[in-house]
Structure 1
Amino acid sequence: MLANKRILLIIGGGIAAYKALELIRRLQDGGARVTPVLTRAGAEFVTPLSVSALAGQRVFQHLFDLTDEAEMGHIELSRSADLIVVAPATADLMAKMAGGQADDLASTLLLATDTPVLMAPAMNVRMWEHPATRRNLATLQADGIARVGPNDGSMACGEFGPGRMAEPAEIVAAVAAALGDGPLKGRRIVVTSGPTHEPIDPVRYIANRSSGAQGTAIARALAALGAEVIFVTGPASVPPPPGVTVVPVETALQMSAAVDAALPADAGVFAAAVADWRVKTASDRQLKKTRDGMPALEFAENPDILARISQLTEGRPALVVGFAAETDEVVAHATAKRARKGCDWIVANDVSPATGIMGGSENAIVLISAEGAEAWPRMGKDAVAQRLAERIAAALA
């Protein structure tokens, strides 16, 4: 999907620079040609020799290289690529980009280019959350700079939180999305994700433990394969991916209406954990404790989005994928659910507390289709998403 694409990779100075070595290899595996630019700080973490050996060509480091600059090398470098990737994009590099500085080769390339830019930020959590970085991020986004990550995680400094650079596989997916290429180019896919919040009163609501991580990963993977993704998301704890159209909702009724508005589509992937029930008449005032005990709550059934879309007689997506979160007899219950709903596939998983899957970083699924049940090994949710996206692409081909 990246065959013959020219990527200019700027490697900033941070411990995450070591991931740039794997990133080079993954980009090359996809068919891309990678030209590396190593900042002075980046060279404190990875050597020019290792970068050059992996890239298969020389590493550019210095702005005032007489041979290169006699031919205006920084101008040529900045405009000869299909995409410029900055990974890691440190706080310093982001500040230079936002301020239009050009005091080294990397910042000069970024200022002199008319090529699309994708950055993968990486820094200490306090630096990421600092008002100056937030201002710089807003400026860069307004300038059209695409972004992947950062993720939450443990850092070399010993702190935990947002600031960890996206994994190489995520960056490769974002590169493909930024280039707008792939087997799903021209396809429109609706993805639902996250929980729904069903209000009891202005303070309380009914919800579930879904983080939205798997739905988000699926949307990102589909976009990376070139799809136009309409991402209908409940109040998830993970941010939506770049490169998709985000439709935020709170309740099941809102999600159902948003899905309708997103049609027609080539496929629908219904990964959201939609509440089955809602309070029939939510109070417009906070419910108070009384001597009479608990207030009586009357419930109403929420719309079954998956079943309704699966059973459309006109405008049904060619492929409808549902999800089944089960705590026992996973295959039997998911198989029955597929027949009952009328969808093409069911992605089933065991979310009993012992698995750690709901809200965790891994998943172990069984894909239920007309051909039967196919168990996948436990893997990261990004890997599950990539594999599912590729199966969807093959089914729509």
Structure 2
Amino acid sequence: MKTVLLLQSFHSFASGILGVVIPLVMKERRIDIVLIGFVFASMPLIMQFGRMFFATLSDFFGRKPFFMANGFLGAVSSLIYYFAHTPMEFLFGKVAEGTKEGAIWAVNRAYLLENSQGNWRLLVNLRTVVYVAFAIGSLLAGFLAALILHEGTMILCAILGLSGFILSLTLIDERKGEFTVGQALRFLDFRKKGRKFKIFLFLFFIMGLAFGFRSGYVIPYFLSVVGFSAEDVGLIFGAMILMAGLSSYLFSRCQDVKKLILISGIAYSTLLIPLGFSLAILAAALVVAVGFAEGMNSVGQEGILSKICDKESYGTDIGLLMMGLHVGESVSLALSGILIANWGFAASFVPAATVYAVFYLGAFKLYGEK
């Protein structure tokens, strides 16, 4: 399990760097913000369809091949970004990056649950690793760009991807059973899922809608527009993710997951509403505070996943729920660029806050039901 967490740290560190660098590179290379929104909107969909495909296969063939694919595609996507100068070229990079994300998120949770007898708190540890590694990558991104230029950061991320591929070769794994189309389709059959699972699938779609209005390029681009340098953007964005990791760790032992879902949701929505109207220091402070609320949110989300997914199909069930989330995220990411271009960042952050309220109120009501 330590190897999986190390692989995740490589992946998230590189993602933290790219999360800051790519929006700034696209702005520097004069890509229109509406097109940036559409390019970033492609990634959640690509990630999720890849994730569902990989998750279903991994329930039969084991998890190791998909950790290997993640490392390889991490190197490929970073090299594509290195050469990209047009929206279409950046879109190709997002296709490779989305497939890379789909590969690791199809198997990381399932691998940990299988090797810990379903201990969901390991999923919180996974989230903490994700947040901390992503935060460190984001914090260093601006300084690395100043030191080795944007192109150098992409080469560094390619090296991290290759290192992840080599490390994944050491994983111990086994086949789950013989693959049959009928068995795979049975796992995907919604008629086999209970009422509670189906409602949470819809709620995860709503959560994705909320996340898309503030995810991807939105925060780094917003910070750049209000006057922060690339180094400052990296520091603030990294601090946001670091606070998310800290809060997920602090609340990981919370016994009342239902109450945490409600409290964290209220905090998240309340902080997002004034963000789009803020300038400079206040904007930075609110961004960091949003990170703390997101970390609390993640604990509740992992509790939901462990509660409603079947043990025989962890990978597929988690993938189905995340499909709802990422389809919603793609829709709102595509809209975000249009909203921001016409009415400013508040037109993206306020919908994020209000739509998320639908998720946390619904999840709070449903979580305790049998």
TM-score range, shorter chain: under 0.3
Specify which structure has the higher proportion of strand: 1
Bigger Rg, structure 1 or 2: 1
Select the structure that is richer in helix. Answer: 2
Q: TM-score, with normalisation over the residues of structure 2?
A: 0.25
Structure number with higher relative contact order (C-alpha < 8 Å, ≥ 6 residues apart):
2
